[in-house]
Structure 1
Amino acid sequence: METHEEAEEPDPEFTAKLAAFHAERGTLLDLQPRVNGKPIHLKKLFDIVAERGGYDAVSAEKLAWRRVGQEFGLGANNAAAYAFALKTVYYKNLAAYEIKTIHNQEPPPKDILENLTAKGGDLLKRTVENFRPPIGNYGNAQDSDASGDESKTPKEEKMDVDEPGSGGRTTRGLRQAPPQRVLFQPDITSSRHIRPLSGHFQSPQPPGNTTSTQPYPNSTSAANLPLHIANYEPRPPMPLTLRGVTTPINNPHLFKEQQRLLRDRKMAAMGRAPAPSTKGMMKPGQGFDGPNIYVRTLQGLRSGIPDEEDYALHHLVKISHERGDKYKFEAFPNLAESLIEYALRVSSLFYDVQWKISYFDDVPHEIDELDGLNGTPDILQRIKALKRVNAADGIETPSYSHDITKIHEAALTIRNLALLEENAIYLANLPQLRDFLAIVLSLPLSPDVTELKYYVLDIAEQVTKFWSMRVEDPLYLCLLDMIKGSSDRGAILTALRAISRISLNLQQPNVLRGVPDAIIEKVFQWTLLQDDELVNACLDFLYQFTAIPENVALLLSHSNALESSAFVTQLTRLLQHGARPHHEKFLTHPGIRAPSSNEIVTVPRDLLVEFIKHDEPQRSTQWLKAVFEEDIESDVTQIALWQAYQGQFGQFLPHKPLLQAADFIKNVSVVFKTANAQIVEGANNKFIIKGIRPRRVPVTSAGRPYLACFWTPTGESACGQFFLIPENLYNHIASTHLGVPKKEDGKWDLDNAQPQQKPLDCYWGGCRIYKRYPDRECSVLRLGVHLKTHLPDSDEKAASQQKFSRTLATQTTMPDASAVKASGQNREAVWSTQTSYPTPVNEHKEATGIPLISLFVLRNIARNIPKAITLIEGGRSSYLTAEDQAKWVEGVDWVDRFFGPLKHRLFWVLAHNPVMAPHVTDLLIWIDKGST
């Protein structure tokens, strides 16, 4: 923001005109005023205030003078004082000039303008007749622009509603409390300095040794003083006893009583009787502070005095907002009735009518009289018969603005207080409230009453749950018209809620009849919107509507919205509204770890040739990874590990020297993080490596396991040869263990096979399948086919550890522990993931919201379709017209027509939404019952 701290050249022409004006007016002009040490240029100040509407407009706006001060860079500290000082500069020098030049009016006399303080505004309306000078000596006090309220009834102002529970004022600040009086208290302590007492007198010192200061200016030393003066010790201080004197200041009551007794004695001495005592008597103007704010607002509203009514409505809005949770109608009789009567004045702004409420049954009601005992059933007909008031469009007079504002305040007060349950019950028992709601909802379309209709709809939403309404009820018809004819989302939403809550707190159910087809079709269409609040209100309305068989019959007869089950399809789609995928992982087959080998395997020759190419310690590192694996629960003795290392690479000495034993043991801990050299104490200490175990089959440097031949004849150990390719392992079993030779063309000669073991069977890891199933025919060909089930695919990629594990997992049955032991490979755990789509739940973990109410509407339709068909075909439905019944199509299975194409969707929700599953089951039962 640009400031005006820089020096600017004054406008000579403006200064001359201003000086001439003040000279003619007889007032003083300060051409160089300063605020907070900064020069204030009058021309610039005059232009800024004029742009904001003038002195009265700036003074009426809260903190406006502070913002004007920011234009001159007056600073943020003590902004209130600087703002008032700037306001005073304008008030003394430019206010009258503004009235004369800008507003073309004659300014007030200087006695009620420049000679007074700059507090307040209304200069354009200030005259000698209507101006009230401040009481006492406070008229010329230097109040800030944040000073307190006026002493009269508050003027019309823009209301800033405080937050509930706030105790601050919203219009102006509070006056500071006066300083506390402090009574004089005499100081009884002595100001004399006391020398500490000693137990004996000091002997005089020689003149040459004294170092004390000279107490007398004419003496040169203590030797010049007399002995009794030099040795003088003052007396100890005596406590000062003070006795209080009764004065009018420190004890006014006692002083007053003493004066009274003195007067009584004088009167008795003169032979006159003492004056009667007035102790305890309430004197005029004392002991009663007046009614509180609640009583004053009630009496002011009922007084009929415009100023008091304005005061009452002004404060009732604040009270209902801040204290609406405790402010009850039953504690203030006639408050609700008075507010309703005041708000009914809105009709006089549009019609030539002044509504009156009559509480007598025997008096015939005129067109402008409302029945305050039973309500007015023909209120809509009376409104149609009223004569409109001719008013120019777009022109709003001050009186009209004032009236509509106060009517809004009355309605807002009722709305705020109706949010309390006790107040809603109280209002529900007032028949004139229904008339008031119907009158406001029937007002012509106008921007001036849009907010008023919002208040009325909010009131209706709170009180309809205590009412039962018939089809011809005026308020019920007005709410339906609001849904049908309004294009305002807020009004439609509140009207839907109000209708859905009819009879909610009563024992008899709500019978939602007389709803036009246009409203039903609109409600169906609104359920397609991405507006959860509106969709929820529409579903509540449809739940009430479809609860009646006659309404379902109306839908079956001639509703276009249900053609091809479009609406039922949308309701089924809403069953999954707000659903979020939930993934649940569960274990289908636990993992099995192959047992460790008791012996350290010898690596195949091709792998050994690869190790020899490297030097230590990389060679030993690769060998350890190929032969051992981590296992925190297993251990290997250090001597066995060292001997296996020597046995594997000792044949290559001295060309390939080995690591020293200590270095080799250290390298084990480097290769495996879980490995740790330990000593098991006992009779003979045992040195082990904890955290590793031997592999049953070695692995390559890339982690690919070798395939071991687990052909184990009865009473013998396994073959134990290793092959990297599954095809080589198969050829080894066929040629070595089954004794199948090959022909010259490379094919197997099955006729000349000579198996090593008899009887012919599968000896892979103790399989013996033909022994377990003796009825099966065994041959070399069948045995060769069976052996392929123990081996992985011949593809090299499928022979890796990961592919091998997945191959085992995809078999018809998971390999058991014996198969894992035979294969020498760990079986990884197999997990399955199940995905569900639950909808939101409440605090009790139950279904709630749009999905639940959608299912309730579907259940109403499925349950009431058979009853509706019976009513239509039997001609017992007085709710349907002859035209409606003529559109009826007989011989149609309506339940199957609506729900048949959607059963697969309902079963999907049943399977994937555990929250809605019980309710969907109930719906499917009703569908099966209603199907023919």
Structure 2
Amino acid sequence: MVQPNQEASATGLAYTSEYNEFIEKLAAYHEKRGTEFVREPKVGSKHIDLLRLFNMVVERGGYDKVSEEKLAWRKVGQEFDLGTLNLPALAFTLKTVYYRNLAAYEISTIHKKEPPPKHILEDRTAKGGKLLTRTVENYNFSKGGGMGHDGSDGSGDDGTPVRDRNGSEETPGSGGRVTRGLRQAPPQRILFQPDTQSSRQTRHVSATSHASSPSHSSHHQQHQPRGASTSYNPSSMDSHSLAVANYEPRPQMPLTLRSVVTPGNNPIEFARRQKAKKDSLALASGKPLPPVNKGIMLPGSGFDGPNIYVRCLCALKSGTKSEQDYALHHLVKISMERGDKYRFESFSGLAEALIEKLLEVSSLFYEVDWQISYADDGAMTSINILNGLDGTPDILQRIAQLPKLDVDDNIQTAELSDTLLMANEAALTMRNMVMLEENAHYVSEMAPLRDFLSIALNLPKLDCVVELKHYALDIAEQLTKYMHFDETDPLYISLLEQLQGEDRGAILTALRAISRISMNLEENNLLRGVPVAVIQNIMDWTLLNDEEMVHACLDFLYQYTAVVDNVDFLITEVQVEPLINQLTRLLAYGAKYVERDVARGPDRRMRAPVEIASIPKDLLAQLYKLDEPERSSQWLRCLFEEDREESITQIALWQAYQARFTSFSIETGRPLLPAAEFIKNVSNTFLEKAAAQVQAGPVQKFIIKGIRMRSVPVDFKGEEYRKCLWRLSPELNTHTGFNTYLGSNTPHGSSKECGEFYMSEEEMYRHILRDHVHAHELENGKFDNKTVGQYVCLWDHCPRFKPEPATKLSQLATHIKVHLSPRPSATKESGDHCGPPPLKKLKPSYLTPGPKQTFQHQVTAIDERHDAAGIPLSAVLVLRNLARNLSKTESEDIALKLPGGVSWVDRLFKPVEPRLYEVMAHNRSLTSYMTDLISAINDS
């Protein structure tokens, strides 16, 4: 047995940690099961990786599924590269390996079932499938197979035929016909022997003849001979007949099967035979044979040709226009669809071919044909030769010296259009390719590509080259992070010139490309030599209502102001005060004001009511529908709530319940809950705090501790009812039926509230008009507005209509709706969401929130770590760079030496200092950065 981590090169297996762990688990499983386990079985000449075999079979559905599928085990064998010679036998051997080592483990771990015992699994042959349904009861021991034995032929191994073999196939030397589709040999019969004795039959048979062969007699009792002769009588067999009976036929020789050569199974041999047949017919007819090209590979024969990648590369290098058109068309598609895997280093020469194609665009507008020279001496013998090793530092001067061609941008020739189209496709391919970091780093070291970018950005200002310029800027944006520029570099100068144009897309991409210079290098990006006009444009663009543009400008300014010399140039050549003011305003870009209430004291408790609240009519109707003890529980929940500090006597609670439901019980015949059960049900209803107790004192009291009466009842869902606050004034003129105002000197103490409870504002509204105002209700549900009277509002202490009573009912009705604002829960229920609101623990109604103080703060953009991000962060970083570097400039020293001189720090930051402190105090995400900024200002 091969041990793990040994002979890895000899077996060809990868002894990974996952493989070793799987083999150890499998070995422990077989040891527990009591079966033999082979760690590294062989099929043919190859060792089998049991982990890989197990995963492949499980992915295909398991052993039973693979055994039912036609030729499935052959397909699994092809995955292990077992070869094509005698593949059926190798497939069955592979199936046997899985059957003996992994089948029971699969049933236990994958299917979570108990595998069959080993005497009907591992100890039997691998014929058939359906191990999951194999049991001792349904297994056919006579045939050596269980359920599903007849379904394994389709699995792809010829060792598990569909039906049982005949006796002739099981005899030694029979060869065992295993080829599917062949007819089986007929069963062996007794050979016919003519009767050589006289035609006269002997009546008496000797005893010796019977005693000499008892097996012979039994044999003939089981198998009655059949033949052409009807005179055969086994009872009269002599010694010659015994020899015939004991005759054994010669062993059958296996048939030699040869496949028929067809165009489907062997096209090469079939073509050779057809050619030989035609040649023989030609020779017979006297015709000459065609010449034989020995050793010559004809086009389209012998190999399938290069793949699409190689063909595109060869076509691009061919110089043939049609081939290049084909190559560029497919390269654009490949770079777009497979750009994440298509790498330049895998196709040597592809980047150089694309660059050479891109350089051809100059010949459309100038009299030039750029050539790339890779000479070590770097000698440039002509103006059109580019240095392929170190780049061409005077490329801009050369472009300025080139003779220009007269190109009409409105009417283009076919040649110009086709050439420009191929250049755009080559640039688009390069642009898509460099989006992958490996490709960007690869081509960043190619000097001809940098020269092309300079050439493309300095093409004539025509509409037809706008697309190509944008592709060049996109390429530059991806490459500058791997490049270092000085102020004389042609590409750096070309990028800065884009900032003086009017194309927003070109300006935005150029800003990003410049801001990324040397990002992935150790060298710093000093951004020297930036023209004053460019700096002024960038400062002006920060005033635009364009978030993307402002962000790009701030990134550039952050890189630019990090260098002291640049800050000195900035405050000398440009008026910086507007920039400081704009950066301070950008600190609040996109800010949202958030209010937060902070409690200044604890919640206040209301005094408990002295009497139980009345039950609304609709709630009482719902309680009548319930049976005990659910009715008493709901009555308690609607009128009482938990409170550790309060209590109520048991007798008062029982009497209140009895008074409410006694008459209903008598009418309906549904008895009330007994008093003892009712008191016990109180504790069951309020599980957390309520409990029956005995209060000690001069007179003992039986109380329920932990509950109190509600001032306002609630429904079954916990929603509070609304109380009618309409005051029942004694001055109400009930004689006329109208709410007539009789005077304004009536004291409020002489009236009391209505006290009825209603859930909806509509019910409350109709109750006031019908029961208090005594308005006449029509049949359609509306109220009559024709009656003239004097109407006042008696809701609580409302002064409306007291000096001048309303004369129409509609005036009072409209005003009453002001007091009946909808409940918050009703507003939510009328919204778009469906279903009841989520359950939550209701806050005690007797607690009144304490005093609170509202604080307001700003929230600007933050990232996933809740740190500052976006434009506010960039603005504060630019301000911090200026505050730190202003004191280090020469202009600062000159300003301080002047009589009454004021430092640049004070001149720029003192006017906005209050605003900076305000942002630091109110913007939480910028607090740390604003602290650094103010510290830098104070230190300077």
1 or 2 for the larger relative contact order (CA 8 Å, sep ≥6)? 1
With the length of structure 2 as denominator, give the TM-score of the two structures: 0.48
